[in-house]
Chains A and B, each alone.
Chain A
């Protein structure tokens, strides 16, 4: 599956994102990103509530209110300017808060690295996105277009990072796996850890034994 995703990236996603990224000026790309991100806010709030994280729910609500109004429907992002950053979350995190185990590492077609728990979370998130309940059929297609545009844009912004991973790593699969899991666990942990490996005293132990 990893090989398949690299092939899809090489033939479709990368050329499209480089093309679009070169043609569209940065403010336009930023606007698409902001707009897509703003439409994610209600979903974040719903998950924040399910996780009983009321402070973050409030933060995301305010962010949605500010960006939808002052930010001209979400195209601009004045909320970040006043320190109201996106507290992004998803149903995978909600499952984690509820005590569900991580499950196995999986690579989803096109979407990339995930875990069993996060895959379930992804499906539930699509199904229960509050925004879906307020829009009809033609608009939901525009919404999908915006989301795909946002994904293409993300591929462009992190172009060098992803190129490095997919095309330059000695073992792209292993590199993607460790990057995804470390970062995901860090997000979910949400607090400082201290079980670091100390090479000065823990000589010759495998620091990464799992």
Chain B
């Protein structure tokens, strides 16, 4: 006599298929995230190169670079990372003022160096999933220089895929700028508003 609780052959097969599907699901989501992250960096590089080779005036260049950062970078999370633990005691107004000042500071600081990149190329050489984000590795080829590595870390933690850190030959943007912001805070005796004012004045 057949046990009524024993799974039929059909039920067993469909259950196995469902289990296999569930096991494959995270891999599929990761694969999708990797390709979206890659597309993001691809699009970013195209826009960045258009900007570098545009020959725009300095003010125009900085403004365009800020717009580019807004589009491709998760500036609020980067700002939060570089403020480290101080972020916790900052008021909502201070946080938003800091994000604005920090974005403009980054545009000036890095935008002023764009002429060194004219005529160079970047290509994506590797992508991999790390925990909840994707590492997109690019190789930069500049004139008269050995190729070097630039890594973009992309996450959809904000709801959209955006990059949240940049590592050039091991030098981490978030860590370096956190050091700078920390020094500005120290100089101002921990006063966040004074630090933001200094950051706005910094080149």
Measuring CB to CB, which residues of chain A are less than 8 angstroms from any residue of chain B? 30, 80, 85-86, 160-161, 164, 168-171, 174-175, 178-179, 182-187, 189, 192, 194, 196-201, 204, 206-208
Contact size range, B? 35 or more
Stretch at the interface among B9-17, B45-53, B54-62, B169-177: B169-177
- B175 contacts A206, CB within 8 Å? no
Those of B53-97 within 8 Å (CB) of chain A? 77-78, 80-81, 84-85, 87-88
Measuring CB to CB, which residues of chain B are less than 8 angstroms from any residue of chain A? 77-78, 80-81, 84-85, 87-88, 109, 112-113, 116, 128, 130-133, 135, 137, 144, 146-147, 153, 155, 157-158, 164-165, 169-172, 174-176, 178-180, 182-184, 186-187, 198, 202-203
* Cβ contacts under 8 Å, B85 to chain A: 204, 206
Q: How many angstroms from the CA of A176 to the CA of B178 in the assembled complex?
A: 13
Beyond A170-B183, A196-B130, 8 extra complex contacts between A and B, CB < 8 Å: A175-B180, A175-B183, A192-B137, A196-B165, A199-B78, A200-B133, A201-B132, A208-B178
- A199 contacts B113, CB within 8 Å? no
* Cβ contacts under 8 Å, A189 to chain B: 170
* Cβ contacts under 8 Å, B146 to chain A: 80, 85-86
Q: How many angstroms from the CA of A200 to the CA of B133 in the assembled complex?
A: 9
Q: How many angstroms from the CA of A201 to the CA of B137 in the assembled complex?
A: 22
Q: List 20 A-B contacts (CB under 8 A).
A: A85-B146, A160-B116, A170-B180, A171-B182, A175-B176, A178-B176, A183-B169, A183-B170, A187-B170, A192-B137, A194-B130, A194-B131, A196-B130, A199-B77, A199-B80, A206-B84, A206-B85, A207-B81, A207-B84, A207-B174
Partner among A80, A168, A171, A184 whose Cβ is within 8 Å of the Cβ of B179: A171
* Cβ contacts under 8 Å, A30 to chain B: 144
Closest to A178 in B: B179
Q: How many angstroms from the CA of A187 to the CA of B170 in the assembled complex?
A: 8
Q: How many angstroms from the CA of A184 to the CA of B170 in the assembled complex?
A: 8
- A199 contacts B164, CB within 8 Å? yes
* Cβ contacts under 8 Å, B128 to chain A: 192
- B203 contacts A168, CB within 8 Å? yes
Q: How many angstroms from the CA of A80 to the CA of B169 in the assembled complex?
A: 19
Assess A196 versus B178: contact at CB under 8 Å? Given A85-B146, A186-B169, A201-B131. no
* Cβ contacts under 8 Å, A175 to chain B: 176, 179-180, 183
- B178 contacts A169, CB within 8 Å? no
User: Smallest distance from the beta carbon of A197 to chain B beta carbons, Å?
Assistant: 7
Q: How many angstroms from the CA of A201 to the CA of B202 in the assembled complex?
A: 31
* Cβ contacts under 8 Å, A197 to chain B: 81, 165, 174
User: Smallest distance from the beta carbon of A176 to chain B beta carbons, Å?
Assistant: 10
- A204 contacts B170, CB within 8 Å? no
Q: How many angstroms from the CA of A196 to the CA of B202 in the assembled complex?
A: 28
* Cβ contacts under 8 Å, B137 to chain A: 192
